[in-house]
Chain A
């Protein structure tokens, strides 16, 4: 599903983040990427979502090699990957409905399909009652749930989440992580970059630990405490 082989990333200033990194994430897996700030968690997600380029190596998403993608092909790839941003990246002056519907309009869905699919996904994230509210008026937790709704509305095979609970209180964080778990149960591969010890410990899923661009531990049913012990 997601595979990287000998991935190297060197920034223009000469700083080498990843050096010949290898990783495989299978279909329907739920994986936490953890590690200190600057360890490369977000950069790795950005590379998968084609927000950053690589220096050498190979990155495969769903058997598509990202190295050979032309810039006009990037939007097509992004339509198959959902991305949950820490800062939500919502169209704040538009309604909840419009924010989610936008992803479907790109795919030229009919009005009826859009209406039904948006309602369905808003129901899943618990925002059905706020469907016509302006997204800028939602609370942080609600905005994050809206961001997740937008990311999954076209049933992507992969969901990437970069610090999805970073700006949320513990209760809202709990809700978000339950939601991600629910999405994973619908056969979506979920990859979450996080600092949130509580959710990692609670979920006990596969944990990949990064430090200075190197994978120092890759453990099934891991906890944050075990990471710290490293």
Chain B
């Protein structure tokens, strides 16, 4: 505990002594994390958009003719127990035929079509992030009472592809941005370490072990990373607050995702990422310096 206080004191002393470099490190981390945060928020919105569209697509299950009420109830229970289904509505064939005739009165269907050509059906809405095609295939095999399944196949497929593409590109960009941020952080912290290389030499000469030298630098990296992430979160919060108000005022039907909880989750991710990158950057920098100082021949 005694040493922990000493290490914390040393870390803050280190920041004070190389204040300019520490400031540059914080600004660098802030900028990198702002880019990462913007991308994460855009990615969340795009995913949400594609989920929204997919969730609005419905599946229509047409049943075989001449099913008994008991068989229909059996099927209803079976469908209800499916994990991917959010809502389920039964449409009686008589009701459906009446609605159809009402919708197209100019066709005078009652005159030309004597017998109801429609079957009983279920209208199904899926939970978010469900694979429409997979569920359609599963339902096809779930019961022999189902005659046909109809859904917006083409559109759903396109949206599915787009959503997948967004996710793949998202993961790739997050990895690239994280790596780039790490490199920047490592090099910036390395500069602060290099400024104090003489100090590190002296510490080793008076008997300080690697961990004794390393810990204050790690705490410093952690703090700089956290400060960078905090600044990035504040900037994003201000920017998105302003941006969302503008977009919603000008395009009220644009499906922007404004759930504050998701924003806070993104900020939390940034805080953890920033602190981790600061810590890792400091670890790599100080380790490199300490390794280069091992006993020379």
Query: Chain A: residues with CB nearer than 8 A to chain B?
Result: 11-12, 49-53, 71-72, 74-76, 78-79, 83, 85, 89-91, 93, 102-103, 105-108, 110-111, 150
Contacts and interface: CB of A to CB of B under 8 A. Distances in A.
B295 A75 contact: no
Nearest to B210: A72
A12 B297 CA distance: 7
B205 interface: yes
A78 B206 contact: yes
A93 B206 CA distance: 17
Contacts of A83: 205
Given A72-B209, A108-B3, A52 B296 contact: yes
Interface string B169-211: 0000000000000000000000000000001011111111110
Contacts of B210: 72, 75
B137 interface: no
Interface centre among B17, B207, B296, B297 (most CB of A within 10 A): B207
A106 B297 CA distance: 27
A75 B208 CA distance: 6
Contacts of B203: 102
A52 B201 contact: no
Nearest to B204: A75
B212 interface: yes
B295 A50 contact: yes
Contacts, number: 56
Contact of B202 (A52, A75, A90): A90
B206 A53 contact: no
B207 A79 contact: yes
B295 A89 contact: no
16 contacts: A49-B205, A51-B296, A52-B296, A71-B294, A72-B209, A72-B210, A76-B207, A78-B205, A89-B205, A93-B17, A102-B203, A103-B206, A106-B207, A106-B208, A108-B2, A110-B2
Given A53-B296, A78-B206, A78-B207, A105 B6 contact: yes
A63 B203 CA distance: 25
Contacts of B294: 71
Contacts of B17: 93
Q: Which DSSP category, helix, strand, loop or mixed, fits chain B's interface?
A: helix
Contacts of A75: 204, 207-210, 212
Given A89-B201, A91-B199, A71 B295 contact: yes
Nearest to B295: A53
Contacts of A85: 205
Interface in B69-96: none
Interface centre among B3, B205, B206, B210 (most CB of A within 10 A): B206
B199 A105 contact: no
A144 to B, nearest CB: 15
A46 B55 CA distance: 74
B208 to A, nearest CB: 5
A52 B208 contact: no
B295 to A, nearest CB: 5
Nearest to A111: B2
Interface centre among B6, B17, B201 (most CB of A within 10 A): B6
Nearest to B202: A89
Interface string B1-45: 011001000000000010000000000000000000000000000
A110 B207 CA distance: 18
Nearest to A102: B206
A9 to B, nearest CB: 9
B208 A53 contact: no
Contacts of B208: 75, 102, 106
Contacts of A78: 205-207
A106 B6 CA distance: 10
A224 B207 CA distance: 34
B295 A106 contact: no
B293 to A, nearest CB: 10
Interface in B254-297: 294-297
Nearest to A12: B297
A90 B202 CA distance: 7
A11 B201 CA distance: 22
A78 B295 CA distance: 13
A153 B184 CA distance: 41
A106 B202 contact: no
Nearest to B7: A105
A83 to B, nearest CB: 7
